[in-house]
Structure 1
């Protein structure tokens, strides 16, 4: 393989950090070659998601149930695949897992399955809201706007919902909170949250017997776009956060620069200057470092006495 080809297929630093770990902690099946191969997985997952979404939209437009059963249950799992190979968080994976259960439940006709699907998507909204709020809080004017929208829509549909009033009211609170929190994360994630809100709003319109031609197609297209934008937006934001954390850790590891001069001698002007050596310890000059001790006065008197 040429040098240019190796460079083309070399895994980026984030992927190498995830999969190419020290041998003491790296799984046996993860080798550098596998890590380079896994670099193409996120793009493959998104490509397959787009294909599955297109098949699902064709099935909805033509009312072919078999196409919907094939494609719709694959949408969220393909995005889970993308998240797991892009340092995604557990809450996002949990939200997409709940969405998978909700998609399957809503394929089955009947009010019971509709309620089960709503319960599954309630888990999706709660997981996404916690994930978004943990990163950044939305602005107060955004909260006021979404609360006003929630109250207006529920007031407009309340008389038409019948037995579904309370379940839809509870679900709409979580849905609106998620859409509001998504606006604080990034523009892409905020757009995804708004499309999710619009998609489920149209489902509520259908539950209130206020149908219109092409509603199912609009519901599905906005839902698929919402999943795509929320997932990719969250992945981009997670990578940016990891890059900031990595830079901060590197700065802390490097520590402050060492002083230009580092010596043990006290500087001039110190309150405690170095003391001169005592005569006993000071080195003697000349060949004899231990000269004879001079006679003391007491010795002279002793000699005189003798």
Structure 2
């Protein structure tokens, strides 16, 4: 499982660097090649390295998240399709939330959840999201409702990633949580650039954090499968 499909991972990194180079050189036409290639190669990498959980809900959820992310990347290449791109990423986030829930080594019991403690653990995430919304709110106009829904979904994704602490191996937790957090940072930079004020080198910052985010999430899910054999057996039957 360690070496299988490694060529797709290299292609992912090369495509990511090439896409950022196109941004720097302002060669937007070539991004119709480089940008879709990023998530396409990562999706193939994930699917070729997770045959051990073939037909499982986890593999379907993460695979769908990557494919909807790919769709979102393509749609955002067209400014007039921004809302559709937002919708594609919203579905991707929901799929990631499902995947994060499935890679927790515990049974969910609402009676044992300390909601006050949970709130304070997630408070930095809430504050960050609230601050971003406060800054962009005045310029959202007709996009206000879909953006609010998207922000709430993003907060839930990062919170779910944080809740995996001590419910998976440490490597998987760190990778997934950092990936989810960087995903939120990437979207926040994009939102601030579009709806608050221009950010220097915004394209490189958005894609750089986004590429690292997606990679960390995928590697974190794989780490859960590789280093949590009991969880792997349980996930195969999900």
For this structure pair, what is the TM-score category when the shorter chain's length is used for normalisation?
Answer: 0.7 to 0.9
> 2:158 — aligned with what?
179
CA distance in 2, matches of 1:202, 1:40: 34
Aligned partner (choices 199, 204, 210) of residue 212 of structure 1: 199
Q: Structure 1: 5+ residue runs without aligned partners?
A: 1-14, 16-38, 249-306
Match of 1:213, SS? coil
CA distance in 1, matches of 2:3, 2:175: 23
How big is the shift at 1:211? 0.7
TM-score when scaled to structure 2?
0.80
CA distance in 1, matches of 2:18, 2:213: 17
> 1:288 — aligned with what?
none
How big is the shift at 1:144? 2.6
CA distance in 1, matches of 2:46, 2:204: 26
Aligned partner (choices 59, 73, 89) of residue 121 of structure 1: 89
Query: Compared with structure 1, are the counterparts of its residues 149 and 175 closer, same or farther at alpha carbon in structure 2 (3 Å cutoff)?
Result: same
> 1:244 — aligned with what?
230
Query: Compared with structure 1, are the counterparts of its residues 246 and 209 closer, same or farther at alpha carbon in structure 2 (3 Å cutoff)?
Result: closer
Query: Compared with structure 1, are the counterparts of its residues 145 and 212 closer, same or farther at alpha carbon in structure 2 (3 Å cutoff)?
Result: closer
* Structure 1 runs of 4+ with >4 Å offset: 245-248
Answer with 1 or 2: which has the greater Rg: 1
State whether structure 2 residue 100 is matched by structure 1 residue 132: yes
State whether structure 2 residue 46 is matched by structure 1 residue 83: yes
Higher relative contact order (CA 8 A, sep 6+): 2
How big is the shift at 1:246? 7.3
Query: Compared with structure 1, are the counterparts of its residues 247 and 68 closer, same or farther at alpha carbon in structure 2 (3 Å cutoff)?
Result: closer
How big is the shift at 1:247? 8.7
> Is the CA contact (8 Å cut-off) linking 2:183 and 2:213 kept in structure 1?
yes
State whether structure 2 residue 135 is matched by structure 1 residue 144: no
Query: After the TM superposition, which residues 4-19 of structure 1 pair with which residues of structure 2 at under 5 Å, given as runs?
Result: none
> Is the CA contact (8 Å cut-off) linking 1:183 and 1:191 kept in structure 2?
no
> 2:56 — aligned with what?
none
RMSD, matched Cα: 2.2
TM-score when scaled to structure 1?
0.63
> Is the CA contact (8 Å cut-off) linking 2:225 and 2:231 kept in structure 1?
no
> Is the CA contact (8 Å cut-off) linking 1:146 and 1:180 kept in structure 2?
yes
State whether structure 2 residue 147 is matched by structure 1 residue 168: yes
Q: Structure 2: 5+ residue runs without aligned partners?
A: 54-58, 165-172
Would you say how many aligned residue pairs link Structure 1 and Structure 2? 208
> 2:73 — aligned with what?
103
> 2:24 — aligned with what?
61
> 1:93 — aligned with what?
63
CA distance in 1, matches of 2:215, 2:232: 27
How big is the shift at 1:148? 2.6
State whether structure 2 residue 181 is matched by structure 1 residue 194: yes
> 1:228 — aligned with what?
215
